Amino acid sequence: MSKKVLIGLALIAALSFAIFIGKRELTKVQGQKQEILKQQLGNYGKAPDFQFTNQENELFSSQSLKGKVWLASFIFTSCPSVCPITTAKMAVLQKKFGKDPNLFHVSISVDPQTDTPKVLKSYAIKHRADLKNWVFLTGDEAKTHELIQKGFLLPSQGRENSNPSKLMGHDDEEEPVVHSDRFVLVDQEGMIRGYYSILEGKEFARLERDIKTLLY
């Protein structure tokens, strides 16, 4: 083998090694950057444990969400105002993230008296939810509102105690149940990392960014 060929092979080997090292260092830097971004997210404590009935009339526990990034919203199917928007926004996120199995969507009914599993299933179909990683939950009314208030730290009241204009900030006195319009983002460790009002464009964009930070 000629000297020129040997030199050429040595240069190729050196170049390949340099590329390998460069890629490794780039991956390391990107990983460090992601960790910094994750640390910059809020931390509002541990998300509450729960067990409700899903749209298939089966028990669903928060234990099923371990190791996943998940997003909680609070709705009721007869809601005339914010809930259709909330559900539509959740559908946008599900489509945007390509039904990523590491991202789960959780919609909890704040009107269990009306929202039976059958009703929730129809609502999910109406809104074209992919139920592979999106669950609609219903359960005991008092426990539901207590979970939202004490666990997720958001306003939530049933029909008898509701005052929509006071808690929701609008004048729709006819809406029978009071609940928050905010999404709650929970990380793989079960920690609440953010609250996002889906009625504000900037907040929705921030939510998308923070989901990416946790997932990737």
52-61, 145-154, 175-184: range with lowest mean pLDDT: 175-184
| Residue 68 forms part of a structural domain | yes
Q: Residue 99 above 60 pLDDT?
A: yes
CA atoms within 13 A on the CB side of 143: 11
| Residue 46 forms part of a structural domain | no
* One-letter amino acid for residue 101 of the chain: P
Question: What was the pLDDT predicted at 38?
Answer: 56
Question: What was the pLDDT predicted at 173?
Answer: 47
Tens-place pLDDT, residues 132-173? 999 999 999 999 999 999 999 998 876 665 554 444 444 444
Question: What was the pLDDT predicted at 103?
Answer: 96
Same domain, 201 and 129: yes
For range 187-192, the mean pLDDT: 97
Question: What was the pLDDT predicted at 3?
Answer: 64
CA atoms within 13 A on the CB side of 1: 7
Residue 21 burial class via C-beta count within 10 angstroms: exposed 0-12, middle 13-18, buried 19 and up: exposed
69-83, 100-114, 129-143, 171-185: range with lowest mean pLDDT: 171-185
| Residue 93 forms part of a structural domain | yes
Question: What was the pLDDT predicted at 60?
Answer: 98
Same domain, 139 and 189: yes
pTM for the structure as a whole: 0.77
Same domain, 63 and 20: no
CB of 158 closer than 8 Å to CB of 164: no
Dist. CA 154–CA 13, nearest whole Å: 60
Dist. CA 141–CA 38, nearest whole Å: 35
Same domain, 210 and 123: yes
Same domain, 16 and 60: no
Same domain, 84 and 142: yes
Q: Residue 121 above 70 pLDDT?
A: yes
Backbone dihedral angles phi then psi of residue 114, each to the nearest 5 degrees: -95, -40
Same domain, 117 and 13: no
| Residue 128 forms part of a structural domain | yes
Same domain, 146 and 178: yes
Instruction: Supply the CATH number for residue 123's domain.
Output: 3.40.30.10
Same domain, 10 and 67: no
List Cβ neighbours of 56 (8 Å cut-off, separation of 6 or more).
117, 121, 131
Same domain, 32 and 118: no
Residue 25 token pair: 């260092």
Same domain, 55 and 133: yes
25-39, 44-58, 127-141, 146-160: range with lowest mean pLDDT: 25-39
Task: Write down the residue that tokens 């939510």 correspond to.
Answer: 207
Dist. CA 145–CA 35, nearest whole Å: 34
Give the domain range for residue 22.
1-40
| Residue 146 forms part of a structural domain | yes
Q: Collapsing DSSP states into helix, strand and coil, what is residue 42?
A: coil
> What is the domain count for the chain?
2
Confidence category of residue 8, pLDDT binned at 50, 70, 90: low
> How is 104-171 classified by DSSP, letter by letter?
EEEEEES-TTT--HHHHHHHHHHTT--TTSEEEEE--HHHHHHIIIIIS---EE-TTT--HHHHTSS-
| Residue 45 forms part of a structural domain | no
Same domain, 98 and 117: yes
CA dihedral 169, 175, 178, 179 (to 10 degrees): -80
| Residue 36 forms part of a structural domain | yes
Q: Residue 125 above 50 pLDDT?
A: yes
Dist. CA 72–CA 54, nearest whole Å: 14
